[in-house]
Amino acid sequence: EADIYQTPRYLVIGTGKKITLECSQTMGHDKMYWYQQDPGMELHLIHYSYGVNSTEKGDLSSESTVSRIRTEHFPLTLESARPSHTSQYLCASSDSGGSTEAFFGQGTRLTVV
């Protein structure tokens, strides 16, 4: 069972609000990722990190930002939410060792009204 947690599971907020989506993992994984997914559709990588103080933008342009101050924590922040940000956000982590399995959290379903 994966030990990666996302909060909140669901979030409905008004346009212009600042939000932070939390992601924590207890597996000691170096690599962490944020994906954006519309329901039942493909996953788009928006941010990734190979370790503490390492963050890179993914292939899908996103107005969100991330930080990696601790190994286990990889929060994603939207400074000013807009309806176009409505989506599901999935956090994942993987080991730097031999296993390349990505372990996913349950996701945060964000709705901006």
| Binding residues vs other proteins (CB under 8 A) | 2, 31, 33, 35, 39-43, 45, 48, 50, 59, 90, 92, 94, 100-102, 104-107
Q: State the minimum distance, in angstroms, from the CB of residue 31 to other proteins.
A: 7
CA–CA separation, 30 vs 36, rounded Å? Answer: 20
Q: Could you tell me the smallest distance in angstroms from the CB atom of residue 7 to other proteins?
A: 14
Nearer to other proteins, 48 or 74 (CB): 48
Q: How far is the CB of 22 from other proteins (least distance, A)?
A: 15
Which residue is it, tokens 């994942």?
92
